[in-house]
Amino acid sequence: MEGSQLYNFKEQLTIKSKVKDYYNLNFIEDLNLTLTDLINDVNNIFVIDNNVSKTFNFNIIDLLKDSRIIYINSGENAKTLNYIQTIIENLLNLDIKRNNKIVAIGGGVTQDIVAFISTILFRGIDWIFLPTTLLAQCDSCIGSKSSINFIKYKNLLGTFNPPTNIYIDIKFLNTLSDADIKSGIGEMYHYFLPFNVEAAIELNNKYDDILNNRNILIDFIFKSLTIKKKIIEIDEFDKDIRHVFNYGHTFGHAIETITNYEIVHGQAITLGMDLANYISLKLNLINHNEFLVLHNILNKNLPKFLFSDQNIKEYIIALSKDKKNINTSLGCILIGKDNNVKKYFIKIDELLTSYIFEYTKLYSI
């Protein structure tokens, strides 16, 4: 039974942080009970993603009668300082004080906006997060980061400011499209391949079932967060070892750039990992068999994307503009022996281009 499986999941995480000392993550079963508790605390003000309020039947709305709720846009283009100023004005209209907490209900964009505001309003107020997307539940909800766009620069601005409490209810996942689920699975793979390959294999085995029964995801969400927790507790501010989580992201971001973000993030990352692994193979960091094991895991989650002579050129240009590059060398995370990941700087030259070209001929779908 799906229900009973859920009710037995009592795991929780406590994450150490330099910003907040520590913060707690709980998997919850009864969303209404948690919401009622949060509503009963008169210090809480709710910031809710417009889409969530449309797709999920919230008792909270009846209970609050709109008096302590702000609905926000959750498109990528909402992540601007101007929109943030609008939301701060709305919060001031609700007479927000420094002892209030903001309860954010939504996905990554809602998280980015509320985390950023909670850093700068009154020099920091507490916030609570109920992530509603798989990406937010399995990845972004911990790790303290917020990201705001500035003019043409994506995620140029941001802060480190974790919530005090995170409540994950996987029932939210039933409101998501298959593409949203595939996006989350991509991020989970990027934690599992280097740090828990058995989980990656298991996730791959259950891939088709998951799309029909999202409850299965709870265990994988917990495993993803457990991996991330270990690293962010050591390097919360992303100065050093946390860089390993860029695995797949350098090659994935360039895919997103040339496709104008039409491919969902996690699937672009999946392709990014497969491509990074092929570079590892060509650099003799892994052998062909090792590459194939990883490729067979990633394969189902690869996006429908065909490299062409034209877009490979655009792709190399996008890679050459990556923020992590040093001069003409691409800064990226590659996998090696025993699936260990490490930072490498690879010359962006004809050879790299030929590797990518070769990959696309063999594996592009």
Residue 17 or 301 with smaller CB distance to its own copies: 17
What tokens does 159 get? 């802060």
Q: SS3 letters for 180-244?
A: HHHHHHHHHHHHHHHHCHHHHHHHHHCHHHHHHCHHHHHHHHHHHHHHHHHHHHHCCCCCCHHHH
- For the bound state, the minimum distance from the C-beta of residue 334 to its own copies, rounded and expressed in Å, comes to 22
- For the bound state, the minimum distance from the C-beta of residue 330 to its own copies, rounded and expressed in Å, comes to 16
- For the bound state, the minimum distance from the C-beta of residue 81 to its own copies, rounded and expressed in Å, comes to 6
Residues near its own copies, by CB under 8 A: 18-19, 81, 85, 88-89, 92, 97-98, 116, 119-124, 145-148, 150-151, 153, 156-160, 237-238, 323
Residue 151 or 362 with smaller CB distance to its own copies: 151
Burial of 310 (0-12, 13-18, 19+ CB in 10 A): exposed
- For the bound state, the minimum distance from the C-beta of residue 20 to its own copies, rounded and expressed in Å, comes to 10
Residue 122 or 261 with smaller CB distance to its own copies: 122
Residue 212 or 327 with smaller CB distance to its own copies: 327
Separation in Å, CA 18 to CA 90, 129, 175, 219, 225:
30, 18, 34, 28, 18
Q: At what angle do helices 265-282 and 249-258 cross, to 10 degrees?
A: 120
Distance CA 227, CA 241 (A): 13
Residue 140 or 339 with smaller CB distance to its own copies: 140
185, 200 Cβ separation under 8 angstroms: no
Residue 125 or 254 with smaller CB distance to its own copies: 125
CB neighbourhood size of 69 (10 A): 18
- For the bound state, the minimum distance from the C-beta of residue 157 to its own copies, rounded and expressed in Å, comes to 5
Residue 157 or 293 with smaller CB distance to its own copies: 157
Residues linked to residue 105 through DSSP beta bridges, in sequence order: 48, 130
- For the bound state, the minimum distance from the C-beta of residue 354 to its own copies, rounded and expressed in Å, comes to 30
User: What is the C-alpha end-to-end distance of the chain, expressed in Å?
Assistant: 36
Three-class DSSP category at 70: strand
- For the bound state, the minimum distance from the C-beta of residue 64 to its own copies, rounded and expressed in Å, comes to 24
Q: How many CA atoms lie within 13 A of 72 on its CB side?
A: 34
Residue 72 or 96 with smaller CB distance to its own copies: 96
- For the bound state, the minimum distance from the C-beta of residue 294 to its own copies, rounded and expressed in Å, comes to 30
